Structure 1
Amino acid sequence: MAGIQDLLSHALPFFEGIKREKSPVLVVSHYDADGLSSASILSWMLTRLDVPFQLVFVEQTYPDTLEELPFSNYKHVIFLDLGSGYKDFIKTFASNKQVLIVDHHVPAKSDGWEGLIEINPYLVGVDASTQTSSSSLSYSIVSRVLGDSVSLLPVAVAGALGDRLDVGEKFSLTGLNKEIVEKGKKLGVIEEFVSLRLFGIKKKTIVEAIASTLDPFIPGLSGNPSACIKFLESIGIQPRSGDSARLASSLSQEEIKLLASELIKYMISNGVNVKEAEKIFGYNYYLVPEPDASPLKDLREYAFVLNALGRLDHYGTAMALNLGFRGKYIVRVEESIKEYRRLLAKQLSRIFEKGEEIARHGKQCVIYFLDENLPKLTGPLSSIIANDFSQKFKASHIKIIGIAAPTTGEKYKISFRRIDESIDLGNILQKLSRELGFMGGGHPAAGGALIDEKILDKLLEKI
């Protein structure tokens, strides 16, 4: 990936400048797993460079958000996991600053300005939405400035997994993300193998592992332990050994193959498309030094933890975990996961129960509306709903599913997911945002918008 390596070198003068001047830096990052991982990695580096910084987490670089940022206090500004789609807005507020954008979303066209350095692999012809994450780009920058950090390698991988970039064979990471995995394997901190992809498979009981799995979502079993027990008994796998519930780690190779095969059959028979069902078996990534009982052992579970903490505004806990702290922070994780799952389950139940009652249809799109101001939940909810409803809409005109949450100022935050791979969602949203006057963009498979209620009907007429 020579193009990316050349691109990464463009960031070096920025850090040489702040290291030389000891100039304070404003760091602005997204709050999901990739954004939190990127922020942790860059914070680690700035601390070692003895450069003071302020870290702010935001939804997106919308004008209202940019207006509230303390640009006047800083000469240097870094944007992580956002910014490429809104460079002109950033320029309005920071044209006289030295700005570094590290992003992997589809970039908007812009005239740019002399003080801007943009690290986005799309600019060198690489599909950044599948081959890279902002955290893998951030790690690669840090490794060029300070050398490889063993402790940060798994953080970069967790960020990539949090963005669902396991798009390779058997749901493996690819491109720059895979390069970092390989480096982690050589250094002995990351383990990779193909097996069942159940949530918490290293430490949970078989029943808990199936019931806790949301990616892929298993209709009737995810979130339903009693149904999981009946399912296991029906396929000849005993969920208990004597008086104790069996751990998932106790499954024999024969039982793993049987369970994977039967889960795939079950999901397909319940309307899940074949590709989504097959996600139950594939590559797993583990943090070798972490105890098996830790929620950070499985790097997909680690990513889930980061996403939960970010969406509950527990940024400090997420950063502490990424920087190697455990103890009381692990205790907070268990509490946060319970709360996050409760919020997701409540909204999912409402969508499943009310269905068309809370939906609005467009040309190729259906949007389900939440009745609470929960904009940070629209992303994970849209991923789950898109997976669960993809078969339902397979023969229809629907190619895009959205989840909308009301926000302040009579606006809606909408997260979209495609269910037809011919759709380039990020480009569609960028084009329509310019045409209709809202904020929107993203990746080919996933995107988002902040839109005024008054033009929502116009969007539905177009999308």
Structure 2
Amino acid sequence: METEVPSKLLTTLSHAADIVRGHDFIQIYSHYDADGVSAASIIAQTLLREGKEFRATLFTTLNDYNMDIIRNTKAECIIITDLGASYIDQLDAMKNDIVVLDHHTIISEANRICYANPHLYGIDGMTSGCGATMALLFSVTMNEKNWDLVQIAFAGIAGDRQHINGLSGLNTYLLEQGVKRGYIEQMPGSLIPAGDLMTQLYLTTDPYIRGVSGNEEGVSKLLDDAGIDHGKSYMDLTEEEKRKLSSLIAIKLTEQGMLEQSMSEIARARYFLKGFNMDAEYLSSVLNSCGRSGFGGMGISAGMGDAKSIEMGAKLMRDSNKDVVLNMVELDKTGLNQRKHFQWFDSSDSGFTGMLCGIAMQCIGDPNKPTIGMNRSKEPVNLSSRGMWIQLDRGINLAVAMREACNAAGGDGGGHRIAAGGSVPSENVELFLDKLDEILERQLSSSM
């Protein structure tokens, strides 16, 4: 491998590869979102090519309950991807051979286990290297012939939205190698969704367009106003039609309060995966839908290139996208609950907490306040938070805020500065909300 990857990281990855080579069976644990499923797919394919037996398990989060599952595994060798940063001390205390490939905020460094995280090498794991990035670097350390798996890594990069302001750090290295080796093609972005316009404008939540998303009549009127035939797809549009439709969408987004920066993020570059014959964001959505619908095995198979699993995952994605957009329409009607330093909503009836949180933050929320989503349908209460770059510039750090507020309320939390999650006992939700307001006020005051 070349020098774009820090030498200390290469040393850690080489150690990880040696550990795995010494075992015949490996237990994989990963997160259930697009990045986690992508990372698990890369590891699974790598182990398969090495002739190793393995089992993969996906978690919605890594908490004390799931940590007990890891502790009780019979496997002598464990690989954890897109999880683990908050539990390094406990993993260190185990006797198993453990490799952790994570990118979340560093809580502690490892003493015994093999731990690779961009933050350990001066690279921002929020923007410049995700779980799938780390899994891919491990994979090509095992065998240079695994560079074709860079396509799966881009599904993870897209899933964690590390491409929206342009690639950086380790992800740039992956793109350079992917393009050079003929696996990836970079394409210009647009505010207009790809595919059949009547269908995709109805389903779009990236961006969520008030009066159009989830509204067939609104889609028809938008296309009529742009002078576009209802049967057209994005690829059928002339340059003039693209200009008209993009302008109309931009006007609607401006009217609903979206920042210009957010619109630029939506019109980001796209990455075409030649081996999958699809855009990285499409594959990311397929894998995400599988993981979040409880079909993690199918998601991992889809990431490994199984055509039937991709087809079934795509159906899950279409059904999921319709549910998400209709729930987003309802949230838009209801509005967000306002606290002094953040806004929040309850998604207990839908279960799409993290997805709705991100959409609400970008498309309908006050851009000056982080957005919190909570799901009370199970114990403990599941929490998601999303911020914006302008909030980070003012001192907001959701990784710290969610960790401290959840801990104060008897739960756990963590993640990235711009997106974090957690859980708390249901009886302590109000305590969590109060603590979060206090912590955000402290963060804002200390940065002034």
Q: Distance in 2 between matches of 1:144 and 1:9?
A: 10
Check whether the contact 1:79–1:101 (CA below 8 A) recurs between aligned residues. Answer: yes
Equivalent of residue 122 in structure 1, options 97, 106, 119: 119
Q: Distance in 2 between matches of 1:134 and 1:437?
A: 28
Q: Shift of residue 34 of structure 1?
A: 0.6
Name the SS of the counterpart of 1:221 in structure 2: coil
How has the CA–CA distance of structure 1 residues 127 and 280 changed in structure 2, closer, same or farther, with 3 Å as cutoff? Answer: closer
How has the CA–CA distance of structure 1 residues 30 and 142 changed in structure 2, closer, same or farther, with 3 Å as cutoff? Answer: same
Q: Distance in 2 between matches of 1:428 and 1:337?
A: 32
Check whether the contact 1:426–1:447 (CA below 8 A) recurs between aligned residues. Answer: yes
Equivalent of residue 247 in structure 1, options 233, 242, 246: 233
Q: Are 1:113 and 2:114 counterparts?
A: no
Q: Shift of residue 429 of structure 1?
A: 1.8
Check whether the contact 1:197–1:279 (CA below 8 A) recurs between aligned residues. Answer: no
**Equivalent position of 1:56 in the other structure:** 57
Q: Distance in 2 between matches of 1:198 and 1:321?
A: 27
**What is the one-letter code of the residue matched to 2:29?**
V
Equivalent of residue 420 in structure 2, options 422, 447, 457: 447
Q: Are 1:160 and 2:146 counterparts?
A: no
**Equivalent position of 2:382 in the other structure:** 413
Stretch of structure 1 that moved more, 74-83 or 250-259: 250-259
Q: Are 1:299 and 2:299 counterparts?
A: no
Stretch of structure 1 that moved more, 29-38 or 42-51: 42-51
How has the CA–CA distance of structure 1 residues 153 and 18 changed in structure 2, closer, same or farther, with 3 Å as cutoff? Answer: closer
How has the CA–CA distance of structure 1 residues 71 and 197 changed in structure 2, closer, same or farther, with 3 Å as cutoff? Answer: farther
Alignment RMSD:
2.3
Check whether the contact 2:13–2:141 (CA below 8 A) recurs between aligned residues. Answer: no
Q: Shift of residue 273 of structure 1?
A: 1.7
Identity of aligned residues (%): 23
Stretch of structure 1 that moved more, 53-62 or 68-77: 68-77
Q: Distance in 1 between matches of 2:143 and 2:44?
A: 13
Q: Distance in 2 between matches of 1:254 and 1:307?
A: 34
Q: Distance in 1 between matches of 2:184 and 2:325?
A: 32
Equivalent of residue 12 in structure 1, options 11, 14, 34: 14
Q: Shift of residue 160 of structure 1?
A: 0.4
Check whether the contact 2:26–2:55 (CA below 8 A) recurs between aligned residues. Answer: yes
The C-alpha deviation readout for 1:228-286, integer Å capped at 9, x for no partner, is: 22112223x3224xxxx122211122322333233222210222221112334231111
Name the SS of the counterpart of 2:305 in structure 1: coil
Check whether the contact 1:19–1:50 (CA below 8 A) recurs between aligned residues. Answer: no
Equivalent of residue 288 in structure 1, options 274, 280, 296: 274
Q: Are 1:211 and 2:213 counterparts?
A: no
Name the SS of the counterpart of 2:417 in structure 1: coil
**What is the one-letter code of the residue matched to 1:190?**
I
Q: Distance in 2 between matches of 1:262 and 1:274?
A: 14
Report the TM-score when normalising by structure 2: 0.89
Q: Are 1:355 and 2:335 counterparts?
A: yes
Q: Shift of residue 79 of structure 1?
A: 1.0
How has the CA–CA distance of structure 1 residues 198 and 285 changed in structure 2, closer, same or farther, with 3 Å as cutoff? Answer: farther
**Equivalent position of 1:388 in the other structure:** 363
**Equivalent position of 2:253 in the other structure:** 267
Task: Give unmatched runs, 5+ long, in structure 2.
Answer: 437-448
Q: Distance in 2 between matches of 1:211 and 1:408?
A: 31
Alignment: residue pair count? 430
Q: Shift of residue 402 of structure 1?
A: 1.1
Stretch of structure 1 that moved more, 132-141 or 22-31: 22-31
How has the CA–CA distance of structure 1 residues 195 and 399 changed in structure 2, closer, same or farther, with 3 Å as cutoff? Answer: closer
Q: Shift of residue 298 of structure 1?
A: 1.6
Check whether the contact 1:38–1:156 (CA below 8 A) recurs between aligned residues. Answer: yes
Equivalent of residue 323 in structure 1, options 282, 290, 304: 304
Q: Distance in 1 between matches of 2:97 and 2:51?
A: 19
- Structural mapping, 1:83-232, within 5 Å: 83-91=84-92, 95-109=94-108, 112-114=110-112, 116-168=113-165, 172-199=166-193, 201=194, 204-232=195-223
Name the SS of the counterpart of 1:305 in structure 2: helix
Q: Shift of residue 119 of structure 1?
A: 0.6
Name the SS of the counterpart of 1:195 in structure 2: coil
Name the SS of the counterpart of 1:149 in structure 2: helix
Structure 1 ranges of 4+ moved more than 6 A: none
**Equivalent position of 1:256 in the other structure:** 242
Report the TM-score when normalising by structure 1: 0.86
Name the SS of the counterpart of 2:423 in structure 1: strand
